[in-house]
Structure 1
Amino acid sequence: MTAPASSRLGIYCMLGGMFLISINDMLIKSLSGGYSLHQLVLMRSLVGVFFTLFMLKMEGGFAVLRTGRPGLHLLRALLIVFANTSLYAAIVSMPLATATALYFASPLFVTLLSIPVLGERVGPRRFAAVGIGFAGVLTMMAPQLAGKGDIGWVMILPVMAAAGYACMAVLTRKLGATSRASALAIHLQVAFVIVSLGVWAVAGDGRFAEGTDNESVRFLLRAWVWPETGDLAAIAGLGVMSAVVGYLMTQAYRLSRASTVAPFEYVLLLYSLFWGWSIFGEWPEPTVFIGAAVIIAAGVYVFMREDRVKATRRT
C-alpha cells in the first residue's frame, strides 16, 4: 500500500531539510579555522532575518509578533542559541558523524520533558526505550570519558545541545498553539543576532582565546576578522539554508504524521558520514556506530509508540 501524496511530499521535505542541515554543518566546520562561531552565526542570521521577514509578511505582518508569553518566547530563543553553540563547538573537535549521532538523543529528552511541560503521559514502554537510548549515548561517550581518546569532555557538548534543542522543541509545541510559525522563526533569528553582537562586544578582539589550544574554545572566542571574499558566498549560503530548512521542516510535519517523517531525520547521520569522510577525512570509532544504532532504534520506537498511543486515545 503506497503512502498518500501528501505524506510522500512530507518525507521529501524532511530528506531535503536534513541534507541542507548536513551542508550547513559541513560549511561551519570548514570555516571554523578562520572565523569565530558567533561571527558566522551573526552573518548567517542577518541573512536569515531578511528571508524570515517575507514569511512574517505573508502570515499577517508584525501584528503576529504580539504575545502574552514574552518570557517563554525569550527562553525558547535562548535555548536554541545554547543548543547551536554547543553543537557547533563540538563539531570542530570531533568527526561530524560522532557529533550528529550524540545529538540524536534529543527525541529522548523531548519524551521526558513532555511530562512536566506538556502534561503528557509516558508509559513504561517509552520509558524503557528512553533508557535504552541513553545507554547508547553512554556507549559512544564511555571510551572518551575514560581517557581512551583525545576528545574528552567535548563529547558532552552534543548531548548538551540535544537537551537544549529538546527544551526548545517542547516549548515550541506549547507556544505553537497561539503563535504563527513566522513569529517563532523571527524570534530565533533575532536572538542569534543579539547574542552574537554581545559576544563580539565582550570577546570580539580574541583576548579570551589566547593561550588555549582547545579547538572548541578557540572557535567560540577567537578574534573576529573581516571575511575573505571567497568565503562570502558560503556565509551567505548559511543564511539562506537556515531559512529554507525552517520552511522544509515545518512543511514536513504539516503534510505528514510525525511518526511517518520523524524517523527520516536519522538520514542526517549518513550525510554527516559522507561529508566527514569526503571533506575532512574523518571516520568515527566503532563504538559510535554501535551507540548510534541503539539511539536510532530507541528513537524510532518512541516516535511509533507515541503515535500509536495518541491514535488509541482518539478512538
Structure 2
Amino acid sequence: MPTQQRPMFALALRLLAMLVLSAMLLLVKLSGQHGIWLPETLFWRQFIPALALFVWLAARGDLGRLRTKRIGSHARRALVGGTSMFLTLGVVQILPLAEATVLGFTAPIFAVLLAVALLGEKVGPWRWAAVLLGLIGIVIIAGPDRAHIPLTGLATGIGAAFMVAVISIQLRDLGRTEEPVRIVFWFSTFCVPPMGLFMLRTGLPHHDLAGWAMLAGIGATGLAAQLLMTAALRYGSVASVIVMDYSQFGWATLWGWLVFAHVPGAQTWVGAPAIIAAGLIIAWREQVRGSEARERTPAA
C-alpha cells in the first residue's frame, strides 16, 4: 500500500534532519581541532551506521532486506560516496562552518551539468539561468581575498559538491531497484575497510573521553540524519522537501557564532543567497517537469 503523503510532516522531518546534520559537521570540526585524524573520523562515521543497521535488521529477523543483485553498483557508489564524504568532512575542517556549508549547496548546479553531459537531458532557460546565478555566487564568496577563503578550502568545497552531484545520478539509478536501508548499509560496509587501512598508520587509537564522545556523536548523528532524510521522502516529494536543506546554512552560522565566535563576512552574505536561489530555482523546475511528465502519461 502506498504511503500516505503528509507534506507538513515531511517538511518537519527534513528540517530536523538538517539540524542533526549540522550538529554532525560541528562535531567533525571539533574532532579535527581535538587532534583526531580525518580518516579515523570517516571510519567511525561509517562503522557505527553499518553496525547499527545490521543489528537492527538481525533483531527483526529481516536481514534478507540486505540481499542485492547489484553489488557492483553499490561498490561504485561507495567509491564515489567515500570520496565525497572525505571532501565534505574535510572542507569543514578547513573553512568556517557557514562557508563550508554554503559551498555544498552548489551540488544542484553540478547535477544539472552532469544531467546534460551524462544523461543527455535538455535544459531550458530557467535551469541555465540558475546555473549561471550559482556560479556568480561562488565567485562572490571566493572573492579576491584568499584570507577569507583559502584556495584549498574553496577547491575542496566545490569538489565535494561535484561528487554529491555524481552521487545523485548514481542514486537515481540504484533507487529503481534498491530500498534506502540497503543503499545506506552497503555504502557504509564498503567504506569501512579502506578507512580501517588508513588507521593502521597510527595503530589502535587512544583518545580521552571527549574524543570518543565526539566520534560516537558523529556516527550517531550521521545515521540519524540519513534516516530522517529517508523518512521525509516517504511522506513528501524531493522537490517539496528540498527547500528545508537550505536551513542548514542557518544552523551552521549559529554553531559557528556560538562555538567558534565566527560571523560570516559580507561576501558570504551576498553570495550565499545567490547560490541558495539557484538551488531553489532548479528544485522548482524539477517539480514542474515532474508534473508535466505525469500529465503526459496516460492513466492505466
| TM-score calculated relative to the size of structure 2 | 0.89
**Does residue 259 in structure 1 map to residue 278 in structure 2?**
no
Which residue number corresponds to residue 23 of structure 1?
Answer: 23
Structure 1 segment 26-175 matched on structure 2, within 5 A: 26-33=26-33, 34-54=35-55, 56=57, 60-62=62-64, 64-68=66-70, 70-144=71-145, 147=146, 149=148, 151-175=150-174
Residues 114, 54 of structure 1: alpha-carbon distance in 2 compared, 3 angstrom cutoff: farther
**Does residue 313 in structure 1 map to residue 293 in structure 2?**
yes
- Supply the AA of the counterpart residue of 1:110: A
Tell me, in whole angstroms, the C-alpha distance in 2 between the residues paired with 1:117 and 1:256: 27
Percent identical pairs in the alignment equals: 25
| Deviation for aligned residue 1:233 | 2.6
Q: Is the 8 A contact 1:64 1:180 kept in 2?
A: no
- Supply the AA of the counterpart residue of 1:243: L
Q: Is the 8 A contact 2:65 2:182 kept in 1?
A: no
Which residue number corresponds to residue 271 of structure 1?
Answer: 251
- Supply the AA of the counterpart residue of 2:183: L
Structure 1 segment 295-314 matched on structure 2, within 5 A: 295-314=275-294
Q: Secondary structure at the match of 1:143?
A: coil
**Does residue 241 in structure 1 map to residue 221 in structure 2?**
yes
- Supply the AA of the counterpart residue of 2:155: I
Residues 85, 29 of structure 1: alpha-carbon distance in 2 compared, 3 angstrom cutoff: same
Structure 1 segment 183-194 matched on structure 2, within 5 A: 183-194=182-193
Tell me, in whole angstroms, the C-alpha distance in 2 between the residues paired with 1:7 and 1:159: 31
Which residue number corresponds to residue 298 of structure 2?
Answer: none
Residues 288, 35 of structure 1: alpha-carbon distance in 2 compared, 3 angstrom cutoff: same
Which residue number corresponds to residue 216 of structure 1?
Answer: none
| TM-score calculated relative to the size of structure 1 | 0.85
Q: Is the 8 A contact 2:95 2:149 kept in 1?
A: no
Tell me, in whole angstroms, the C-alpha distance in 2 between the residues paired with 1:190 and 1:5: 32
Q: Is the 8 A contact 1:59 1:180 kept in 2?
A: no
Q: Is the 8 A contact 1:22 1:268 kept in 2?
A: yes
Which residue number corresponds to residue 180 of structure 1?
Answer: 179
Q: Is the 8 A contact 2:137 2:274 kept in 1?
A: yes
Give the count of matched residue pairs.
290
Tell me, in whole angstroms, the C-alpha distance in 2 between the residues paired with 1:189 and 1:233: 20
| Deviation for aligned residue 1:90 | 1.7
RMSD: 2.2
- The runs of 5 or more residues in structure 2 that have no matched partner are 296-300
Tell me, in whole angstroms, the C-alpha distance in 2 between the residues paired with 1:122 and 1:60: 42
Which residue number corresponds to residue 211 of structure 1?
Answer: none
Deviations 1:86-137 (A, max 9, x none): 1222222221000101111011112222334445432222122112111111
Tell me, in whole angstroms, the C-alpha distance in 2 between the residues paired with 1:275 and 1:148: 21
Q: Is the 8 A contact 2:126 2:281 kept in 1?
A: no
Q: Is the 8 A contact 2:77 2:167 kept in 1?
A: yes
My pick for the range that moved more, 81-90 or 58-67, is 58-67
| Deviation for aligned residue 1:193 | 1.1
Which residue number corresponds to residue 215 of structure 1?
Answer: none
| Deviation for aligned residue 1:54 | 4.6
Tell me, in whole angstroms, the C-alpha distance in 1 between the residues paired with 2:175 and 2:128: 26
Tell me, in whole angstroms, the C-alpha distance in 1 between the residues paired with 2:204 and 2:92: 20
Tell me, in whole angstroms, the C-alpha distance in 2 between the residues paired with 1:282 and 1:56: 42
Tell me, in whole angstroms, the C-alpha distance in 1 between the residues paired with 2:61 and 2:131: 37
Q: Is the 8 A contact 1:102 1:137 kept in 2?
A: yes
Q: Is the 8 A contact 1:55 1:182 kept in 2?
A: no
- Supply the AA of the counterpart residue of 1:123: G
Which residue number corresponds to residue 196 of structure 1?
Answer: 195
Tell me, in whole angstroms, the C-alpha distance in 1 between the residues paired with 2:92 and 2:277: 23
| Deviation for aligned residue 1:296 | 0.5
